């Protein structure tokens, strides 16, 4: 999280935050953080943001593999499998793709997500 302009006069905008705003937002004191951010944004003529942009994005994914082995003569066998990834099809946003600059128009807007539900099947012959 950064302010977007040099607050402390060190010629760098990195790490500059308004007083009272924690480095990580969305964990505690969300209403206080929102008030500080919107105060900065309105002082710069920007629209305030909603509390939804400060909510944390949980990572939810369920991966499974089903396998069936069919035995033939000797050591030969046929293995059938089916795999599914992110079976819940939950939208898991990519971390660090949001703009951390408080005065940016796209502040905290999610820009990309990880791959949605996928499935694959296959056959393996062992001999």
Give pLDDT tens digits for 4-50: 777 877 887 777 888 888 888 888 889 999 999 999 999 989 999 99
Stretch 52-81: mean pLDDT, rounded? 93
Stretch 110-114: mean pLDDT, rounded? 91
Please check whether residue 42 lies inside any domain of the structure: no
Please check whether residue 29 lies inside any domain of the structure: no
pLDDT at res. 3: 82
Q: What CA–CA distance (Å, rounded) separates 102 from 99?
A: 8
pLDDT at res. 65: 97
pLDDT at res. 69: 95
Domain count across the chain:
1
pLDDT at res. 36: 93
Q: What CA–CA distance (Å, rounded) separates 1 from 21?
A: 9
Q: Which residue has the tokens 């949605």?
A: 116
What is the four-CA torsion angle of 23, 24, 30, 36, rounded to 10 degrees?
A: 30
Contacts of residues 40-45 at CB distance under 8 Å and 24 or more positions apart, as own/partner, are 40/3, 40/102, 40/103, 41/102, 41/103, 41/107, 44/103
Please check whether residue 23 lies inside any domain of the structure: no
pLDDT at res. 83: 97
pLDDT at res. 34: 93
Average of per-residue pLDDT values in the chain: 90
Max avg pLDDT among 17-21, 51-55, 77-81, 99-103: 77-81
Please check whether residue 68 lies inside any domain of the structure: yes
Please, what is the end-to-end C-alpha distance for the chain in angstroms?
57
pLDDT at res. 88: 95
pLDDT at res. 49: 92
Domain of residue 60 covers 56-126
């Amino acid at each position: 999280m950064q302010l977007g302009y040099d607050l402390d006069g060190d010629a760098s905008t990195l790490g500059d935050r308004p007083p009272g705003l924690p480095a990580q937002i969305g964990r505690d004191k969300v209403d206080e953080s929102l008030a500080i951010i919107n105060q900065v944004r309105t002082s710069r003529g920007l629209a305030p943001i909603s509390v939804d942009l400060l909510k944390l994005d949980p990572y939810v994914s369920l991966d499974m593999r089903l396998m069936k082995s069919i035995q033939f003569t000797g050591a030969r066998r046929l293995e059938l499998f089916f795999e599914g990834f992110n079976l819940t099809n939950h939208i898991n946003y990519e971390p660090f793709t949001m703009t951390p600059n408080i005065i940016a128009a796209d502040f905290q807007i999610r820009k990309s997500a990880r791959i949605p539900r996928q499935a694959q099947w296959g056959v393996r012959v062992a001999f």
